[in-house]
Amino acid sequence: MKGREFLLGIAGGFVAGYAAYRAYESARMPAPAVDKTRDAARYGATRRALALSGIARSLAGSALVAYGPAGDVLERNTARLPVWLQPMAFALQGAVLDAVLEFPVDFVEEFSMERRYGLSEQDFPSWISDRVKQEAVGTGIATALVGIFAAAMRRWPSLWPYVVSAGVFPLLLLANIVVPIYIMPLFNTYEPIEGPLEQRLRALAARFGVGDAEILRVDMSKQTKKANAFVTGIGSTHRIVVGDTLIEHFPEEEIEFVVAHELGHYVAKDSWRMIAMAQVVAVSVLFGAFAVMRDRSAEAAKRPATLARVQLFATLLSQALRPAISSFARSREWAADRFALATTQAPLTGASAFRRLQDQNLAEDEQPAWFEFLFSTHPSLKARIAALESSATVAR
């Protein structure tokens, strides 16, 4: 018991200390001006360090709520509420506490840092508006899901992993329908691409029987200078989205290659593949968390803190599965690159597009191998460019 209390004390000190340090930093620099200094290596190393510290903070915070005094306080605050409402109130308190602690962290590590590296010109009112909407949407959804999860645990204390696992798939489908239609437009404006570029991209899509695919432009420049394109949704919400930062800074032939890459995801129905992967991961972590729980009684299932312990175990297990998830995601990126190459027959154009992305996004040429293996969902740009240039050499 003393060992656990010691570790929880370290975790609490780390979470509180880190938040206090970032709060001190944010008080010293309320709104840094844009710095045009660009150092991809330093930016990449800093981003990796922040990603690792974020994981550590998340696990430490989860442990404090699951087994520490924070969880005890949150649970006591819900004691007078009806049993069905207690888990949601518990989760809501935790979300508010997390938002308060993470605000100075996000200010320094997202808003301030992106501006200092010249990757964003978003002003503070716009940033805080996005953050408030993000917290409100995320907290609302999470609280509702916690209520459903808790009800399943109370009703089936020894069978809940089966019941919850069965419910994951329809929730994933619902998310892929709701998010593109209702959530994403809260933060950005999506509108059809028009003019010669639209005709060019539409002709490209028509070659694969998806000429009626939605190809949209999004005002990414509202938040960032980074360029990007992506595929989202399923069924009637399935669409290819291209950032205005890409459209405005890339020549049309490079835009076509990037969209051909996204078309590869679209044609291969990678959204469905990722849903299947998410289902497998969810089942694995749910049954894994159930297996390591010591108290599976009906009484324990009624306690909000039990949910926090499930969440802690599930987070630990999902981190253990992360290399496999990342490897699968990278394999789909390679497949999309091959599709774009076969479609456009323009490997040097693709290599040029990736170099332009590298420069505009301040991306490293190559990440450390250990980080790519553990966390990266995309192969290094160096490897992708080399593969395209190799294809051009062979073609000659």
Domain boundaries along the sequence of the chain? 1-155, 157-396
pLDDT of residue 358: 94
pLDDT of residue 385: 95
pLDDT of residue 12: 66
Look at the chain and count its residues. 396
Distance of alpha carbon 321 from alpha carbon 279, whole angstroms: 13
Tokens describing residue 277 = 């992967």
Instruction: Return phi, psi of residue 364, to 5°.
Output: -70, 150
pLDDT beyond 70 at 376: yes
Helix axes 381-395, 347-360, angle to 10 degrees: 160
pLDDT of residue 149: 94
pTM for the whole thing?
A: 0.90
pLDDT beyond 70 at 36: no
pLDDT of residue 8: 66
The Cβ of residue 200 has, within 10 Å, a number of other Cβ atoms equal to 15
Per-residue model confidence as pLDDT tens digits over 320-362: 999 999 999 999 999 999 999 999 999 999 999 999 999 999 9
For residue 282, what pLDDT band results from cuts at 50, 70 and 90?
A: very high
Range 252-282 burial, b when 16+ CB lie within 10 A, else e:
eebbbbbbbbbbbbbbeebbebbbebbeebb
Q: In a 10 Å sphere around its CB, with 0-12 CB exposed, 13-18 middle and 19+ buried, how is residue 225 labelled? A: buried
Distance from the Cα of residue 226 to its chain's centroid: 16
For residue 15, what pLDDT band results from cuts at 50, 70 and 90?
A: confident
Q: Give how far Cα 323 sits from Cα of 61, 270, 313, 314, Å.
A: 23, 19, 17, 16
For residue 20, what pLDDT band results from cuts at 50, 70 and 90?
A: confident
Q: Is residue 19 within 8 Å of 102, Cβ to Cβ?
A: yes
Distance of alpha carbon 8 from alpha carbon 27, whole angstroms: 28
Per-residue model confidence as pLDDT tens digits over 208-238: 888 888 899 999 999 999 999 999 988 888 8
- Rg from Cα positions in the chain: 23
Average pLDDT, the chain: 90
H helix intervals, 268-362: 270-292, 298-301, 304-344, 347-360
- In this prediction, residues 132-151 reach a mean pLDDT of 95
39-43, 220-224, 243-247, 369-373: least confident range:
39-43
Instruction: Return phi, psi of residue 249, to 5°.
Output: -120, 0
Distance of alpha carbon 103 from alpha carbon 113, whole angstroms: 14
Q: In a 10 Å sphere around its CB, with 0-12 CB exposed, 13-18 middle and 19+ buried, how is residue 27 labelled? A: exposed
Distance of alpha carbon 358 from alpha carbon 306, whole angstroms: 45
Per-residue model confidence as pLDDT tens digits over 107-122: 998 999 999 899 998 9
pLDDT beyond 60 at 280: yes
